[in-house]
Each structure stands twice: as structure tokens, then as C-alpha cells.
A and B are shown apart, each in its own frame.
Chain A
Amino acid sequence: MKKLLEWLGFNRHELIKNNRRYFKTFDKDKPFDEYEYVVLDTELTGLDPRNSEVVSIGAVRVKNLRIMIGGSFFCYARPSKPLPKNSTLIHRITPQQIEKAPPLEDSLPKFIEYCHGAVLVGHFLKIDLTFLGKACRKNFGATLGNTWLDTLKLSQSLEDYKRRHTYSDDPVEQSFNLNKLAIKYNLPLFEKHDALEDAIQTAYLFIYLAHKLRMTGCVTLRDLLISQSNAILPSDQGYSTA
């Protein structure tokens, strides 16, 4: 009986209910620096949503467009299947590191709580949201309702603006890879590649873009959402999870 209710969506977890209720009436028209953001990155066992899983989450909160570096979120999660060898090579998470980690469903409520009231931000966030959403639906009956921004699209939008407003022979930017963008914009670079370092790197990119987009006339959160939806992704996104 319990399983049936879950399946029908009656048994949504309280957290998810709150989350979805909050964002149902979320005001998007305040200046974007008044919102709180959670910039996140996940490490995955692979890119196929059907049989890949989240093995770690890193996230950092942004308040007043400042990164609250001290109050970050990080967890490992033990996948249901052993780690495939090639993913270990990518994010340097070894089977030993996650052996004793709790499964994702144990950490997920804390993460949902951490994200409460915040706009989610990530680089090519769609991938992270697909996996997190899948886990949320499986465990709590629904996906996250948070409004979200993608730094990849925002940087695309900034580049579009620059191309329209400057006299430049630079070719259309081909790569929107997180690291290359960080180099292009001269951001501090983080060498380590766990989910937290990547989340912090993304947070740097995010506050950089937010300030720069403000100069192009973006004021409210809705402006940012519009500019990201207008961004045209290049055919070769140059994106990799590495």
C-alpha cells in the first residue's frame, strides 16, 4: 500500500513539498544581488542517466553576490554499483574513498535543506539536475523545484553581448568549458578537481558574470533568466565533465 502511494506521488517527502511550494510563488523580479544562490557541482559515475549515479556533491552559497566560502557543502555518496574504472580516472574518487560513505538518499535531505530558498547555479547544470532530480524523485517523490541558472549559458550571453557591442575580430568562442572560461576571464584557478573545488570555481565564474551582465543592463533575476534562455549554445559546446 505504501509503495503504491509513493508511486502515485501521494507520499512526497515534506522537504520536497516545502521546496516546491516555495518556488511555486517565487518572485523573480527583485534585483539579482538580493537573492541567495547555491552554486553546485556533482561528480558522476558516467553520463548516462539510466545507469550512472552521483558519487559526490559540492556546493557553496552565494549571498549579496559574495561567495560564503566558509559555509560550503560537500559529501561523497556510495553508488549502488561498484565504480567504473574510467570515472575514477576523471574525478580521482577511488572506491576506498566512498566505501564508507552513506548512500545518496541519506545525504540528499541535508542537501535539499542546504538549497532551501536559493537559486541553483551550475556549469552545464542540466546534467547535474537530471541526476539529482532522478534521485529526488526516486527517494522523495518529486524533483527539486528551485529556479536555476546555468553559467555556461550566461557566459554565452555575455559573449553575444560583447560581439554585438565591440569591434573585434575575435572568432566566435568555441569552448565554454569551465576551465577555459576561467582562464579567458582571468579568474583565480583551482587545480583540484573534486566537486567542491569545481563548485567554487563555478561560483567565481558566476559572480564574475553577474557583475559583467549587470553592466549590460541586467537588473533582476528575471533578466538573467531571460538572457540565459536567449543564449544560443554553440554546436560544439566543448563541454566535458572533467
Chain B
Amino acid sequence: MSTNSEFHFADPISVVHFLKRVVPFNELENITLRKIAGRIILDFFPRGARILEQGVSEVKYVYFIQKGGVRIETDDPAEGLQLKDMREETDYFGILSIISGGKSIFDVTAIEDTFCYLLDRDTFMDLIRERPNFAAHLWERLSRDSIGQVYEQIRSEKLRPRAEDGLRLFNAPIKDVIKRSIETILAADSIQKAAGKMSQDKIGSLLVVDTTGEVVGIITDNDLRNKVVAKGVDPSVSVGSIMSAPVKTISEESICFDALVEMMHSQTHHLAVSGPNGITGVISAHDIMVDQGDSPISLYREIVAQKMIEGLYPLSRKMPFIVRSLILEGAKANDVTRMISILNDHIVSRVIYLLDQELGPAPYPFCWLTMGSEGRREQTFKTDQDNALIYETPPEGWDYVKDAKLYFRRFGNIAIKHLAACGYPLCKGEIMASNPKWRKPYAVWRNYFDNWMNAPEPQAVLHATIFFDFRGGYGEKSLAEKLRDYIVNQAPNRGIFLMHLARDCISTKSPLSFFKNFLVEKDGKYKNRLDLKTRGLVPFVDFARVLALRHGLRQTNTLDRIATLGEHSFIPNELYSETREAYEFQMQIRLVHQLRMIEEGKQPDNYIDPSELTDREKHTLKDAFEVINRIQGYLKNEFRVLE
């Protein structure tokens, strides 16, 4: 085939125009750009397509995104899949992999239908060799580690530091955080003496002073471990021989953040704090973290350390701070809601455990059940209590039954009050363990579910949305598992019940108008706002539930359900990936919205104002809503729902 006739354009002008918008390729002169353009190939990746696979794909091209967007992730055995970056139009990827030898160092997935210009490796490498200046600029850009754009945008624009009581990490002066007076030891004293003092006072460091009282160094528990124990140094030698000197100091007026930076910089965990009259104390990374109180771990420790139920009351109020710090660190909504659920689980479990201790042994093994969003591990902030209690079926005979009824009535009522005091509002529908109806032995629970699955009335469908997502909390979890076994076994055969669930899911229309505008509330308190939960998220939750029941899955978490459905090819691959993305994105939007409301001192709700979204968020949200039509279409077909 001839390719050299005068009829062939070597430089499609559209490619040249495109490259002129790509930094630093825009530095290249026209003739070079035209040469490159002549080698360009265009490829298309449907949304959800894996473009490059970490460690597997041979990277033969530099990919320039002409339209669409991709997600860049690394899969680390230790840390799992981690979002590294999002790239969109005029961004590129693949260069680092080419430089580092060929195999892709990332997973790259199209998050929208994506068109990429491909520049072959050889042409690109020639360019690098021939243009040292261009290469230098390219390296500079590549080394600037940019963070995911959509999430970054949400983090930076939506979560401005709070004015007065912003993150303590950023504005608390060190002098507010150091609590102890300074503890010192003489340089001539033995290591043994130092270790004894540290363990007695439960402190992690001592300042080392000479005979005049001048601070000459510091000794820390790390020094004891690394320099003494590990190396078998004789503990009778002097502290002076193993101390770190000179000691790094920081002004007591500095903010904690600076202290952390200094610690990371000098690779130490302790800094001496200096005031106007010399050293006033020592600050450790641990002190800052504890003061911060925003780490999930610190809250967890606080929860499990409580010996009195009342001590748990204030703890759930710390949740927003933890969520905030997680979001700032770049956690995805699903991870955040799981974290919230885990921490809530711990609070609830601790309440029930302490109550169990207080009331004395239960007559029959029981299990605390969590329902609804808590059952699905999808809690955001302050969700109503949805709970119940299941216990082992007592033997026949009124006395046995009475024992159980009396004990669990007391148990349920007290537990609910404690949980309300912990900040979990009572459920208006009375779906709580204080309601005798939802405090039953296994046999009764099994009958409940059996009836719901047999005679699907509107009430049954409502119950399905709450009860079928149950999960065992504190107690004898095998009771909950047994109940789940029964449902997993039965539900797939209850066609009419499933069909009703599917119909219920289909009845919620996607909140997009015919012209693809958001459908918002027309009047009332939430005028011009969009109910993201009912209109946006619920259809996905319902979709995952009905299919999970149909295919006998045990999972209750929506994303887990969708993932399992996808893995077993119960739903088409494309539907799986778009469902997952659409759901995750909405969760993220909702979480940030609620966090903002809390920070503004309002009660968090699910009503978002589309006009407050960025264009990109609007666009992505519309895409997410369009998925609702597809999942409903799928259900309609799958369950032969007639309208």
C-alpha cells in the first residue's frame, strides 16, 4: 500500500492544536509538533476499561487524553489498591512507565468514555534525547506529585480550614500541648537508672543534663531499644554514651504542625521545647497525635478503655473530626463510612458489653442486631438507631419464656437509652430492641422473614429495606449467621417477593429531567435542593439488595454486594463498574456535604444544592444518575416487572 503520495497529510492540524495545549509539549516548535502529530494514533477506551495494568501491560505509547478521564491507582500488597491520581483532558500518562523500563507501574482505568492520542515509545524517546530542555521541563512536571483531581477538588475547596477552632494540628501552639514538667537525668547516671525512671514515670524520654543543669542531650525509649537492648550494651554504662546530642529544639510558640515537620525532617520522635528561659519540656509525635484526637485509632483506644457506659456518651461526637481528617488524607467515601461503622460498632458493642456485665448473665445466648445503614456499614453521621435483638429459642414452657422476656425487656430498654445518650437518635419507626416485636428468639425471627418473603405486601417491602440488611453486632453472632443462612437459602426461590422488591426499586425515577437537568425540590424547606439519599443512593442500595437476595449472597454492604455480583458475573461487567463508580461518587458528595453542615453547626441532611457543585462534579453526578436508568432497566428485564 502506498503511503507516500502527495495526498497524505502528515500533520493533522487538530493534533497539533491539541499538543499546543499540553504542558510542556506546547514549548516545542511547530515543525516538531507536526512531526509528532504525523505519528499519532487515536484510541478509544469505553468507561470502565482497564487501559494499563500494573506490572503486566507493556507500555508502548505515551497516552494523551483528548477527551474523557482516567483513574490512576497502585496495587500494593501491603496497602491494597490506592488512588494516586485522576487525569483528564490534555493530561498524559505512561511516561514514567516507559522511562522505568516498560511495564506499567500503575493501574490505569477509564472513568469516562475516553479518547487518547497515542505517541509511540521510539518517537517519544527520540524527542527526549534531542531536546534536553524539553526533557528537563518534563521531569520537573512529572516529579511534582499531583493528587487526584476530583477528590482533591472536593477536599481543598469544600473543606477550608475552620476559622476559630480549625484543625489543632495546624494552629495549636506547642506550649498548649506539652503537659509534663521536664524530667531530667545526669549524663553520668547509668542507663539502668534512666530506664527505671522512664518506666516508673511512664514517659518516653528524658532530657540529659550535665552537673551544671545544662541540657546536653536526650534519651528516648527508642534509644533504649535500638542502642542498648538490640546491641547488648551493658546497662551500667553512662547515659551520656548513648544519648542523642545535641538535642533538637523547637520554640514553644511554634504550632504543632511545625513540630511534626521538624520531626519528620530530622527523623526523630522527640523535640525539646524552648521557652524564653531555656528548655521548658519535651514534645513527642505521640503527644501531638493524642492531642489531635482525630485519628481513628485514638478514638478506638478511648472507646475500648471505657469502664463506665457514661464514659462512652461524648465519644461519638468526635466522629466528625475523624472523618474530616480522613477525607483530608484522601480516603474514599466507602472507606470513611466503613470506618464510621467500625467505630460506631465499637461504641455500641462497648455499651452492650458493659450492660451485659452490669445486668448479670443473660438466661439465653443473644446477639445484638444492627439494621439499615448500620447493618450495611454505610453510616455517615448521626443515623437513627435501627437495631434489634435475637436470642436462642428457649425450651417449651412459660417459665423459660418468661425469664427470657423479662431479662431482654430490661436489657433492650436500658441499652436504647444509653445509645440515645451516646448521640444515636431514637428510631421514629420504633425499630429498636426496646420494641418487644423486635426482641425475639431465633424461631420467631425466622418466621418473620418467612412471612415477609411469602406475602409481599407494601409493609414487607419496607421491612426488606431495613431488616434484610441486618448484621450481628455484640454477642452470639452465630445466631445472626444462622438467620442469614436461612435467608440466603430461601430468598432465591421467592420469585414474587423479589419481583416486588425490584418493582419498588424501579419506582424511584432518576433525578434527571428529560433535558438532563437535575430534578430539585420545587418548594418547601429544601427548595432547589436535591435529595441525594432517596433519589440518588437508595436505587443503588435497593438494586444491590434485590440481586444479593436473588443470588443468595450473604453480604450486606452495597459495594460488597455489587462487587460479588460482578465477580460471579451475575451482572454484566460494564454495569458493575459503572454502578460501583456512580455509587462511590455520590457517597463522597454526600459525606462532604454533611461534614460541611456539621462544621457550620447545622444538622446534617441529604439535600444537596446542585448550584454549589463544580462543573466537573455536576457532570460526574449526572453520569451517576444516568446509571440509575440502566440498573432499573436491568432489573425490569431480569425480573420481568410489568408496569
Which A residues contact B (CB, under 8 angstroms)?
A: 65-75, 107, 110-111, 113-114, 116-117, 165-170, 185-188, 190, 196-197, 200, 203-204, 207-208, 211-212, 215
Which among B8, B46, B118, B629 is the interface contact of A73 at CB below 8 angstroms?
Answer: B8
> Closest 6 CB pairs between A and B?
A166-B633, A167-B633, A67-B42, A70-B38, A167-B632, A188-B67
Is B41 a contact partner of A69 (Cβ separation < 8 A)? yes
Residues in B whose Cβ lies below 8 Å from that of A196? 9, 12
Tell me, in angstroms, the Cα distance from A107 to B635 when the chains sit together. Answer: 55
Is B66 a contact partner of A167 (Cβ separation < 8 A)? no
Residues in B whose Cβ lies below 8 Å from that of A204? 42, 44, 115
Residue of B nearest to A107 (CB): B7
Q: Can you list 13 contacts pairing A with B, beta carbon distance less than 8 Å?
A: A66-B118, A72-B12, A74-B7, A113-B1, A167-B506, A167-B630, A167-B633, A167-B635, A186-B112, A186-B113, A190-B14, A211-B46, A212-B46
Asked if B444 is an interface residue, CB under 8 A from chain A, the answer is no
Is A187 a contact partner of B633 (Cβ separation < 8 A)? no
Is A187 a contact partner of B67 (Cβ separation < 8 A)? yes
A208 shortest CB reach to chain B, Å: 6
Interface centre among A68, A111, A116 (most CB of B within 10 A): A68
Residue of B nearest to A211 (CB): B46
Is A110 a contact partner of B7 (Cβ separation < 8 A)? yes
Is A208 a contact partner of B44 (Cβ separation < 8 A)? yes
With A74-B7, A185-B113, A186-B113 as contacts: A110 and B633 at CB distance below 8 Å: no
Which B residues contact A (CB, under 8 angstroms)?
A: 1-3, 5, 7-12, 14-15, 37-46, 66-67, 112-113, 115, 117-118, 506, 514, 572, 574, 629-630, 632-637
Tell me, in angstroms, the Cα distance from A170 to B67 when the chains sit together. Answer: 25
B615 shortest CB reach to chain A, Å: 14
Tell me, in angstroms, the Cα distance from A32 to B190 when the chains sit together. Answer: 81
Which among B40, B45, B636 is the interface contact of A70 at CB below 8 angstroms?
Answer: B40
Tell me, in angstroms, the Cα distance from A165 to B634 when the chains sit together. Answer: 7
Residues in B whose Cβ lies below 8 Å from that of A114? 1-2, 7
Residue of A nearest to B623 (CB): A186
B515 shortest CB reach to chain A, Å: 11
Tell me, in angstroms, the Cα distance from A67 to B407 when the chains sit together. Answer: 74
Residue of B nearest to A72 (CB): B9
Is A168 a contact partner of B5 (Cβ separation < 8 A)? no
Residues in B whose Cβ lies below 8 Å from that of A113? 1-2
Interface centre among B7, B574, B632 (most CB of A within 10 A): B7
Which among B42, B46, B632, B637 is the interface contact of A215 at CB below 8 angstroms?
Answer: B46
With A74-B7, A200-B12, A208-B113 as contacts: A69 and B67 at CB distance below 8 Å: no
Residues in A whose Cβ lies below 8 Å from that of B44? 65, 204, 207-208, 211
Residue of B nearest to A70 (CB): B38
Is B67 a contact partner of A70 (Cβ separation < 8 A)? no
Is B118 a contact partner of A110 (Cβ separation < 8 A)? no
Is A166 a contact partner of B630 (Cβ separation < 8 A)? yes
Residues in A whose Cβ lies below 8 Å from that of B115? 187-188, 204
B439 shortest CB reach to chain A, Å: 40
Tell me, in angstroms, the Cα distance from A109 to B575 when the chains sit together. Answer: 47
Residue of B nearest to A71 (CB): B3
Residues in A whose Cβ lies below 8 Å from that of B41? 66-70
Residue of A nearest to B45 (CB): A211
Which among A66, A70, A188, A215 is the interface contact of B12 at CB below 8 angstroms?
Answer: A70
Is B12 a contact partner of A69 (Cβ separation < 8 A)? yes
Residue of B nearest to A215 (CB): B574
A164 shortest CB reach to chain B, Å: 9
Residues in B whose Cβ lies below 8 Å from that of A215? 46, 572, 574
Given A75-B7, A168-B633, A215-B572, 18 further pairs, Cβ under 8 A: A66-B41, A66-B42, A70-B12, A73-B8, A74-B7, A74-B8, A107-B7, A114-B1, A166-B629, A167-B630, A169-B514, A185-B113, A187-B67, A200-B14, A203-B42, A204-B44, A212-B46, A215-B46
Tell me, in angstroms, the Cα distance from A69 to B3 when the chains sit together. Answer: 13
